């Protein structure tokens, strides 16, 4: 269905009618950078985002045909001042191992670097511990290179000091690019939801498989270059099909969600936790020894077995099997080889009786 956008100045031709969800699904999300480039489509994004608001916001803006039914796209109640204000400054990571992260510049001074004490921590080859800093002043935002080894670039030009303009792209290290932009409150919410839709699993809220695989490649390169430890833990809920067959798929969804919440509360901020597929999950964890990785995984295994999951008055017990592969002990060339090694160990854990952990032997 085609709808005219005549009430939005700047659009004179019809465009396809999409709901927010279908709009996300139609996008080619192979590159998050192209997704983030949508920040230039302010009025179009407001139009699409309006469909996310419920009737409690009142004031229907327009009507469209959708699946042969009449539906309303509603605008939220916004003050005139809020409509005109694009005063929220953000740095959005559009390329690199931290792709998808959205950082609001709500402090006067923000340090970017790979050190744990940086305000925005970025893991990438060529990024210094304290690489650059962003200073928010009364009417401008200034970025300053902190004598980094490889320099800080804006739109391809190296600089020592630079006043950021809306849409500027900062490059730090070999692959990390951050886009600077201002947002009003609608654009801010929409941008977050778009990024979440691209990076997160819809049911559990964990990262999705695509993000996991992209991040794994970057993490491996960093670990090899800096001779750091890296581990991948593959986890599979035991006899999950029986849960669905016995209690139903809604119960299965609750099990997946509760398990994901438990793991999420147990990992570090720098760990990457994703739903790999079905009832299978994966973790990337760095800078800890093989022995500590095993103890960490075993703690998760025990916590899973102690989870209290109830559905329609029935208690659903679960256990989880895990396979672990590590760098530098296991091959990661190509990165899929490290996944295969962990998957082989997961298979051994399943074959060995489930509810156990198997790690590659060295």
Q: Within 13 Å of residue 117, how many CA atoms lie on the same side as its CB?
A: 1
Burial class from Cβ neighbours inside 10 Å (0-12, 13-18, 19+) for residue 256 reads: buried
Name, in order, each residue with C-beta under 8 angstroms of 237's C-beta and a sequence gap of 6 or more.
243, 255, 256, 259, 279, 280, 318, 319, 320
- Given the structure tokens 């998050």, which residue do they identify? 32
- Residue 275, both tokens: 């739903």
User: From CA 22, how far away is CA 229, in angstroms rounded?
Assistant: 41
- Given the structure tokens 């699993």, which residue do they identify? 201
Residues 177 and 33: beta-carbon distance below 8 Å: yes
Strand order in the sheet with 152-154: 102-104, 88-95, 176-183, 169-172, 152-154, 157-159
* Best CA proximity match to 9, nearest among 43, 56, 55: 43
Active-site option among 25, 279, 333, 336: 279
- Residue 32, both tokens: 């998050």
- Given the structure tokens 């042969």, which residue do they identify? 68
User: From CA 161, how far away is CA 343, in angstroms rounded?
Assistant: 48
CA angle, 10 then 34 then 42, to 5°: 25
- Residue 237, both tokens: 């809920």
Residues 34 and 56: beta-carbon distance below 8 Å: no
Backbone dihedral angles phi then psi of residue 311, each to the nearest 5 degrees: -145, 120
- Residue 183, both tokens: 């947002």
User: From CA 284, how far away is CA 98, in angstroms rounded?
Assistant: 13
- Identify whether 303 is a catalytic site residue: no
Residues 345 and 325: beta-carbon distance below 8 Å: yes
Residues 114 and 131: beta-carbon distance below 8 Å: yes
- The residues that are catalytic are 279
């Amino acid at each position: 269905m085609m709808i005219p956008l005549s009430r939005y100045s700047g659009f004179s031709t019809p465009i396809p009618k999409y709901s927010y969800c279908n709009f996300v699904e139609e996008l080619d999300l192979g590159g998050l950078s192209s997704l983030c480039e949508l920040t230039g489509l302010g009025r179009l994004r407001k139009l699409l985002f309006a469909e996310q608001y419920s009737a409690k916001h009142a004031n229907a803006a327009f009507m469209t045909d959708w699946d042969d039914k009449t539906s309303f796209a509603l605008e939220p109640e916004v003050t005139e001042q809020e409509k005109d204000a694009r005063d929220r400054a953000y740095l959005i990571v559009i390329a690199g191992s931290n792709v998808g992260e959205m950082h609001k510049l709500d402090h006067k001074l923000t340090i970017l670097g790979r050190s744990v004490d940086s305000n925005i921590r970025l893991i990438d080859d060529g990024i210094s511990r304290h690489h650059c800093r962003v200073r928010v002043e009364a009417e401008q935002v200034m970025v300053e290179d902190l004598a980094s080894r490889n320099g800080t670039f804006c739109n391809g030009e190296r600089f020592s000091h630079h006043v950021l303009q809306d849409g500027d792209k900062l490059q730090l290290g070999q692959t990390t690019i951050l886009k600077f932009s201002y947002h009003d409150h609608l654009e801010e919410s929409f941008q977050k939801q778009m990024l979440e839709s691209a990076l997160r699993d819809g049911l559990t809220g964990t990262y999705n498989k695509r993000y996991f695989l992209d991040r794994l490649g970057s993490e491996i390169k960093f670990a090899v270059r800096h001779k750091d430890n890296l581990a991948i833990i593959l986890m599979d809920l035991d006899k999950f099909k029986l849960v669905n067959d016995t209690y139903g798929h809604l119960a299965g969804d609750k099990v997946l969600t509760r398990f994901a919440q438990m793991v999420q509360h147990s990992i570090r901020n720098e760990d990457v936790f994703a739903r790999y597929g079905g009832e299978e999950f994966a973790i990337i964890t760095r800078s800890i020894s093989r022995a500590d990785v095993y103890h960490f995984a075993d703690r998760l295994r025990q916590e899973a077995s102690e989870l209290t999951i109830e559905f329609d008055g029935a208690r659903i017990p679960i256990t989880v099997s895990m396979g672990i592969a590590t760098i530098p002990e296991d091959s990661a060339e190509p990165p899929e080889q490290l996944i295969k090694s962990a998957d082989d160990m997961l298979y051994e854990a399943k074959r060995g009786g489930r509810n156990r952990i198997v790690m590659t032997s060295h």
